[in-house]
A = this chain, B = another copy of it.
Amino acid sequence: MRENGKRRIVRLKDIADKTGYSINTISHALRGMNDISEETKSYILKTASELGYVTNSIAQSMRLGYTKTIAVILGDISNPHFAILTKEIENTASKHGYSVFLLNTNEDEDQEERALKTAIQHNVDGIILCPVQRSEKNVRFLQKSDIPFVLIGRYFPEMDGVRYTICNDVRGGYSATEYLIRHGHRKILMLSGPAHISSAKERLQGYRQALADYRIEYDDSLVIEVPIMETDCSTLLPEDGYTAIFAFSDIVAWSAWKVLRERGKRVPEDISIIGFDHIQSRLSLPYSLCSVSSYKAKMSITSVEMLISIINGNKEMENIIIDTDIAKGESVSFIS
């Protein structure tokens, strides 16, 4: 199959040579156009499959101007939350005939920039991006490049014309906090994400709003910022001063639970915990973490469909803000 080191790919020309028809006829026949006689068509199809022909979409793209690929660019696919999103995105994209380039940013702005350039270089038709949000730079660059894109999970409130699919983080943060308050908690530790990330900021905002509504004084020392790529918050978790924790993500929540347990504290008897993302929707674990569920499948499907719609020239897109729910779990109890 190899000739002088280079892989021999079967081309239209090979089928043409074999059948005696022209390249054009082969092309038309293979795409089932109705200007080729049934006879010739089936003869060509047979020969093509005998030779093991597959469309060369590189050449096709060259001619047609699109690649039927999208890029999915996010922080870290090994984070279950992103993994679940990506699964649904790939699935939906594939249903629509699109293939997915996967690129990690590791939440680093430079890597994000490189990822975006890689995507553009490969002529992807569109990009789904969970932005690092260190600054607006990379998204501005994207905008200028005029490539269709959709943000997922995070957005820039001040940027106009940037489409996004997010969940209602303010509401989610609010209901998580409210849920704890209704269980009698008043000293609620917030393990927040970095302030430059919109979802972190808005969950915190929801937290503060709930405190205010329930006339609980906001205490600065009860808000701790956990780095976004951190999986172990042992050094960050205060020894005491709170009866409940609201964590920015399930990853952080589980880690906090682990640290508490190592310190001899019981969950939920001593400390209640609520997380965000509900990764247990995919992962069957013995102990259930109470979590704000963000409908990952819906978010993924919406973002793909939104992107494809933009690719197809639709200018008037509504941003999508998906509802959240409390997924109850044993990590929260009434205060004793």
Contact of A7 among B5, B57, B147 (CB under 8 A): B147
**Contacts A56-B123, A83-B78, A286-B254 known; A118 to B146 CB distance under 8 Å?**
no
A231 to B283, CA, bound (A): 7
Question: So how many copies of this chain end up in the complex?
Answer: 2
Residues of chain A in range 47-102 having any CB-CB distance to chain B below 8 Å: 52, 54-59, 61-62, 65, 67, 69, 72, 76-80, 83-84, 86-87, 90-91, 94, 99-102
Instruction: Known A-B contacts: A56-B123, A69-B101, A267-B286. Give 18 more (CB < 8 A).
Output: A1-B145, A55-B121, A56-B121, A58-B58, A58-B61, A58-B62, A58-B123, A77-B83, A78-B84, A79-B83, A91-B104, A94-B104, A99-B103, A101-B102, A231-B284, A254-B286, A260-B286, A285-B285
A17 to B52, CA, bound (A): 43
Contact of A254 among B1, B59, B79, B283 (CB under 8 A): B283
Chain B residue nearest in CB terms to A121: B57
A115 to B1, CA, bound (A): 22
Q: Is the CB–CB distance between A57 and B283 below 8 Å? A: no
Chain B residue nearest in CB terms to A91: B104
Q: Is the CB–CB distance between A122 and B99 below 8 Å? A: yes
Give, as a whole number of angstroms, the nearest-CB distance from A26 to chain B.
Answer: 17
**Contacts A57-B123, A90-B102, A122-B58 known; A261 to B286 CB distance under 8 Å?**
yes
Residues of chain A in range 18-45 having any CB-CB distance to chain B below 8 Å: none
Q: Is the CB–CB distance between A87 and B91 below 8 Å? A: no
Give every chain B residue within 8 A of A59 (Cβ-Cβ). Answer: 62
Q: Is the CB–CB distance between A78 and B7 below 8 Å? A: no
